[in-house]
Amino acid sequence: MLQSVFFAHANGFPSATYAKLFAALAPEYRVQHLELHGHDPRFPVDDNWASLVAELIHHLEARAEPVWGVGHSLGGVLHYHAALQRPDLYRGVVMLDSPVLTLADRMVIRAAKRFGFIDRITPAGRTLGRREEFGDLDEARRYFAGKSLFRRFDPECLDAYLQHGLHSTGRSLRLRFDPATEISIYRNVPHTSPGRPQQLRVPLAMVRGRHSRVVMRHHARLVRRMPRGEYLSLPGGHMFPLERPQDTAELLKSLFARWDEPFPSKESA
């Protein structure tokens, strides 16, 4: 039976950028997603991403059955918060280089917002003033291929970003993901949570890119204390789902297959 995956993208990366990952999950899994999170005026970006979580729940409620929730960075946090509020919508959650924040993490974020240094501890500062417009596709390709964030992208994923991350204005190409929205998402990173990690009622895996500085050792310890939490890693950095889409798909398939197996009974344990 075909199973449903609902994917949520990283900040600034439209879902179609991950087309190679989605294709690698076929034919066993049908991947659904929003094209752009944070762009629906019904769900504007607000503090702690409450509206973004509400937007995700709104679309999950329209599904015929619970889904496997998979999210990269921003998307992983959205799925985690949604699953805490509505576990009935999920079969399980996979956070791709997306941390479950500790109380200490959240206290630092709260202070950063209050005292005005949030741009220094999130990518918002690097996003300010970033180039938004390009003369043609070749110019855009040279620009992004030279950036460290994109340098290890699978070639097909870079092509997908250039195709779906830009749109024509008639005279030039501009970023499709609104830069002001991207910055607002970073500035409103959650310092609250709708529940404690131990309250999560569905299985969760946090998958770290081995060279990433986003998911840290203390995040792994927190996840391992969940009733059905686990910590895994894959080669690559923060953008590993777009650097190694095939490996990411294989890990997801193995997780879903294992989670689909019934729990061993006490008699057989």
Q: What string of DSSP letters covers 50-102?
A: HHHHHHHHHHHTTSSS-EEEEEETHHHHHHHHHHHH-GGGEEEEEEES-----
- pLDDT of 268 higher than 60: no
What tokens appear for 77 in the block? 């946090």
- pLDDT of 260 higher than 80: yes
Average pLDDT over residues 109-138: 92
Q: What is the pLDDT of residue 269?
A: 39
What residues make up the domain containing 45?
3-130+178-260
Average pLDDT over residues 61-72: 97
Digit-coded pLDDT (tens) for 146-164: 999 999 999 999 999 999 9
Residue 152 inside a domain? The answer is: no
Q: What is the pLDDT of residue 264?
A: 54
Residue 80 φ/ψ, nearest 5 degrees: -60, -45
Residue 87 inside a domain? The answer is: yes
Residue 25 φ/ψ, nearest 5 degrees: -85, -15
CA dist 211 and 23 (Å) reads: 25
- pLDDT of 201 higher than 60: yes
CATH number of the domain encompassing residue 71:
3.40.50.1820
Q: What is the pLDDT of residue 130?
A: 81
Share of the chain above pLDDT 90, in %: 91
Number of structural domains (the chain) is 1
As a dihedral over the C-alpha atoms of residue 81, residue 87, residue 90, residue 91, rounded to 10 degrees, the angle is 120
266 pLDDT band, cuts 50/70/90, is very low
Residue 159 inside a domain? The answer is: no
Across the chain, mean pLDDT equals 94
Residues pairing with 71 in the sheet: 8, 95
- Is 242 within 8 Å of 15 (Cβ atoms)? no
Spatial CB neighbours of 256, under 8 Å, sequence gap ≥ 6: 3, 29, 68, 91, 92
Residue 208 inside a domain? The answer is: yes
Residue 235 inside a domain? The answer is: yes
Residue 162 inside a domain? The answer is: no
Q: What is the pLDDT of residue 125?
A: 84
CA atoms within 13 A on the CB side of 251: 23
Q: What is the pLDDT of residue 127?
A: 83
- pLDDT of 263 higher than 70: no
Residue 31 inside a domain? The answer is: yes
Average pLDDT over residues 17-25: 98
- pLDDT of 206 higher than 90: yes
Maximal CA-CA distance, the chain? 70
Q: What is the pLDDT of residue 262?
A: 73
Residue 53 inside a domain? The answer is: yes
